[in-house]
Amino acid sequence: MVKLNRIYTRTGDDGTTGLVDGSRTPKDAARMAAIGDVDEANSAIGVAVVALRAGGLELAWLPALLERIQNDLFDLGADLATPGAGDSGEDFAPNDMALRIVASQVTRLEDEIDRMNGELSPLTSFILPGGTPAAAALHVARATVRRAERSGVTAARAVSINPLALAYLNRLSDYLFVAARAVNQNAGGDVLWRPGATR
């Protein structure tokens, strides 16, 4: 259970921050960059949820799914902030002391991608990140998730990172891409890239 009585603690004034196991690490460590990018991605998804609700909710089911993903991303941040599993030869299974991303969370994203994509026309061109405000917000979230994935891959070179956390981020960017297409399909379609058209 999380209980926050104070927002500031002054313990990070020396440029370090605490991990789940109580150890401290520099705030600019690769692990912390990945955690920060996941937090930013979560915030971008929050903006997309607000844009969807403000836009009339043609896809009324989508905000609730995105909010579930936001909860997953808090789990994922906790996973990244829990060192030691791979370092000590253990696996990344969740336990009382470690909240971990599990395969079913990745599979759920894949199932939702397949469901949404099955209702879309095939892509015949790359698309531009735009369309409706909600779709544009989803594209910003998608690009931010891609950055979080890159940061996670970088962190995995320095410390042990749950491979399923990285897989989740990879699928999530695909999920957000397809969700943006679904939103735009209900508002006139994708904004297509026209190679060389602005020369």
CA dihedral 110, 116, 122, 125 (to 10 degrees): -80
Task: Give 43's contacts (C-beta < 8 A, 6+ positions apart).
Answer: none
pLDDT of residue 22: 61
pLDDT of residue 16: 62
Q: Which amino acid is at 66?
A: L
pLDDT of residue 189: 87
pLDDT of residue 103: 95
Q: For residues 161 and 108, what is the distance between their CA atoms, to the nearest angstrom?
A: 21
pLDDT of residue 113: 98
The answer to whether the beta carbons of residues 149 and 169 sit under 8 Å apart is yes
Q: For residues 112 and 1, what is the distance between their CA atoms, to the nearest angstrom?
A: 30
pLDDT of residue 17: 62
Task: Give 101's contacts (C-beta < 8 A, 6+ positions apart).
Answer: 72, 75, 76, 79, 162, 164, 165, 167, 168
The answer to whether the beta carbons of residues 30 and 159 sit under 8 Å apart is yes
- The 10s digit of each residue's pLDDT in 149-186 is 999 999 999 999 999 999 999 999 999 999 999 999 98
pLDDT of residue 186: 81
Q: 24 has which bridge partners?
A: 18
pLDDT along the chain (199 residues), means of 10: 59 60 70 95 97 79 95 95 64 76 96 96 92 95 98 94 96 98 90 89
pLDDT of residue 93: 72
pLDDT of residue 25: 67
